[in-house]
Amino acid sequence: MIYRDTRDSSFAVDFKTAVLSGMNAKTGGLYVPETIPKLPKDLLCRSVAPSFRDVALEAAKPFVDGEIPDADLQDIIIDAYPFSAQIVPIDRITYVMELFHGPTCAFKDFGARFMARTMSYFNRNENTALHILVATSGDTGSAVGSAFHNVPGLDVTILYPRGKISPLQEKQLSTFTGNVRALSVEGTFDDCQKLVKTAFVDADLRQKFRLSSANSINISRLLPQSFYYTYAALYVQQRAALDNKIENPSIIMSVPSGNFGNLTSGLIAREMGAPIKGFIAATNDNHTVPDWIFSGEYNARPSVSTYSNAMDVGAPSNYERIRHMYTLEQVRDLFASYWVDNQGTLDGIVECYKNTGYIIDPHGAVGWAAWNDIRSGAMEKLLNGEKCDPAKPGLTPNVPAWAKDIVDKKAVGVILETAHPAKFGEIVYKAIAREPSIPDRLQRIMKLPDMSIPMTNNYSAFKDWLIDNL
Ligand SMILES: *Cc1c(COP(=O)(O)O)cnc(C)c1O
């Protein structure tokens, strides 16, 4: 498969180059597959819905064609995914796709673990380790650290702002040993990012070490996220006939979004032939994309902090990929868009719990609030020409091609639950006065010793440390 630069489509690379370089440093463009392959008919039409790993293998093959043989790809997938997405029906026409069954209890495990193993694979004939530097403001660092832990040929240094992330997040970052370590930087997330960026352009360091990043823009994090959309769509397609007697339902995926990597992966799954009718782009107060969808004008802005903090992104990097794949009109046909403020997020947790008994985290709650309002009348009002104010939380005035399926009761919703509620226990408690139960793997981490290394935000101190310790 050939991958092209979103900013200069004459520039093309193979999968290995796209994975190891992350982006085209010359243009600042991101890589997208030249064509989106179709899933085999056999996979889409099985009488029993395929397993997650079956889907993963079939869906990954064409993207790595000619570079990773099937047997090696299968080993990568088996090693990356000892867990799966789980689909839980919570009411007659609503399913939750739980994406938190990986080691760090958030959906980023799916992308990060595939990326780590493909990087290791491509590095297998080198004599020296590939050094990954990551700056994190929370969730990404733990997913990346955990995904690369004990993976041969790779070495990871995570930089995080000391005291500026949640105690659980700090534990998840600071307790690694072996090939993964965390530097607790005296400063802000921006300081961490600056140290990493300066290191990448430091000729002296580049000569000594092979440096790479594990950024969310890496195509090897995006592609594997498409696997669970296909898996869920095929599963729900079969379940729906039993659960609610809707034959061939229109499956709508409600995606709580920040950088829009997760949603872009859903678009890839749909293009590959997964039976997905449309998407709800659900955001918090950072509603750059909903604003773009209704107004046609894209205005990136500084982020504001909210209860769903992993979605606090004002300039979503995957906007560039979405624009490369579709025209604005196509986006308007595919997407409903919706945003909620903090109060709406708390209300979402409360209503989901009251109506269904399901305890949802603040990110999933944004997706739930959007779907629940859309199927309970908001879309019908919009279809009937009632005006809605895009400056207020709620459904954005855009009617997708599938709007009538909602009114005709032909649609089912799948809400992506991107993190385990225990990761955001305080906010959940604030909403429903109940603590979510804490999974064993999080409890174990809370007992491990802090191995983080204190660091100032001074570049030369950081550089000296790298030279002495890598
Ligand atoms: C990263 C993250 C998101 C946002 O995903 P994007 O791909 O950036 O849109 C949502 N929820 C959780 C819990 C996350 O960690």
Q: Which two tokens stand for residue 238?
A: 């079969």
Give 28 Cα–ligand 1 centroid separation in angstroms.
22
Q: Check if the beta carbon of residue 451 is closer than 8 Å to that of residue 176.
A: yes
What is the distance between the alpha carbons of residues 43 and 272, in angstroms, rounded to a whole number?
11
Atom of ligand 1 nearest to the CA of 108: 15
Atom of ligand 1 nearest to the CA of 257: 9
Atom of ligand 1 nearest to the CA of 255: 9
Give the pLDDT of residue 146.
95
For residue 188, report the phi and psi dihedrals to the nearest 5 degrees: -105, 175
Whole-structure pTM value: 0.95
Give the pLDDT of residue 414.
98
Give 309 Cα–ligand 1 centroid separation in angstroms.
9
Which neighbouring-strand residues pair with 3?
A: 13, 33
Give 293 Cα–ligand 1 centroid separation in angstroms.
20
Give me the mean pLDDT over the 74-91 stretch: 97
Q: Is 256 in the pocket of ligand 1 (CB under 6 A)?
A: yes
Q: Residue 396 in 3-state DSSP?
A: coil
What is the distance between the alpha carbons of residues 422 and 169, in angstroms, rounded to a whole number?
12
**What topology is assigned to 83-470 in CATH?**
Rossmann fold (3.40.50)
Among candidate residues 120, 117, 177, the one with its CA nearest the CA of residue 153: 120
Q: Residue 28's pLDDT band (boundaries 50, 70, 90)?
A: confident
Give the pLDDT of residue 217.
87
Give 311 Cα–ligand 1 centroid separation in angstroms.
5
Digit-coded pLDDT (tens) for 286-302: 999 999 999 999 999 98
Give 160 Cα–ligand 1 centroid separation in angstroms.
18
Look at residue 215 and tell me whether its pLDDT is greater than 90.
no
**Which residue's CA lies nearest to atom 11 of ligand 1?**
418
Give 299 Cα–ligand 1 centroid separation in angstroms.
20
Q: Cα–Cα distances in Å, from 26 out to 11, 21, 30, 172?
A: 10, 11, 11, 34
Report CA dihedral (48, 53, 57, 63) to the nearest 10 degrees.
110
Best probe residue, ligand 1, of 139, 216, 288 (max atoms within 8 Å of C-beta): 139
Give 420 Cα–ligand 1 centroid separation in angstroms.
12
User: Hey, what amino acid is at 256?
Assistant: P
Give the pLDDT of residue 103.
95
Atom of ligand 1 nearest to the CA of 363: 11
Q: Look-up: residue for tokens 């590095």?
A: 123
Digit-coded pLDDT (tens) for 146-177: 999 999 999 999 999 998 888 888 999 999 99
Report the percentage of the chain scoring pLDDT > 70: 100
Q: Check if the beta carbon of residue 347 is closer than 8 Å to that of residue 428.
A: no
Give 258 Cα–ligand 1 centroid separation in angstroms.
6
What is the distance between the alpha carbons of residues 255 and 283, in angstroms, rounded to a whole number?
8
Sequence ranges of the domains in the chain? 83-470
- Count the helix, strand and coil residues of the chain and give each as a percent rounded to the nearest 5: 45, 15, 35
What is the distance between the alpha carbons of residues 107 and 91, in angstroms, rounded to a whole number?
23
Look at residue 244 and tell me whether its pLDDT is greater than 90.
no
Q: Is 417 in the pocket of ligand 1 (CB under 6 A)?
A: no
Q: Is 310 in the pocket of ligand 1 (CB under 6 A)?
A: yes
Q: Which two tokens stand for residue 1?
A: 């498969």
Q: Is 418 in the pocket of ligand 1 (CB under 6 A)?
A: yes
Query: Based on the number of CB atoms within 10 Å of its own CB, is 421 exposed (0-12), middle (13-18) or buried (19 or more)?
Result: buried
Q: Which two tokens stand for residue 58?
A: 């079939």
What is the distance between the alpha carbons of residues 193 and 391, in angstroms, rounded to a whole number?
32
CB atoms within 10 A of CB 328: 13
Give 239 Cα–ligand 1 centroid separation in angstroms.
27
Give the pLDDT of residue 230.
98
**Which residue's CA lies nearest to atom 15 of ligand 1?**
310
Q: Is 262 in the pocket of ligand 1 (CB under 6 A)?
A: yes
Q: Check if the beta carbon of residue 297 is closer than 8 Å to that of residue 328.
A: no
What is the distance between the alpha carbons of residues 106 and 366, in angstroms, rounded to a whole number?
15
Q: Which two tokens stand for residue 303?
A: 């982020």
Q: Check if the beta carbon of residue 261 is closer than 8 Å to that of residue 30.
A: no
Look at residue 443 and tell me whether its pLDDT is greater than 90.
yes
Look at residue 337 and tell me whether its pLDDT is greater than 80.
yes
Query: What average pLDDT does the structure give for the chain?
Result: 95
Helix 440-447 and helix 167-174, axial crossing angle in degrees, nearest 10: 80
Atom of ligand 1 nearest to the CA of 364: 11
Query: Based on the number of CB atoms within 10 Å of its own CB, is 450 exposed (0-12), middle (13-18) or buried (19 or more)?
Result: exposed
Q: Is 110 in the pocket of ligand 1 (CB under 6 A)?
A: no
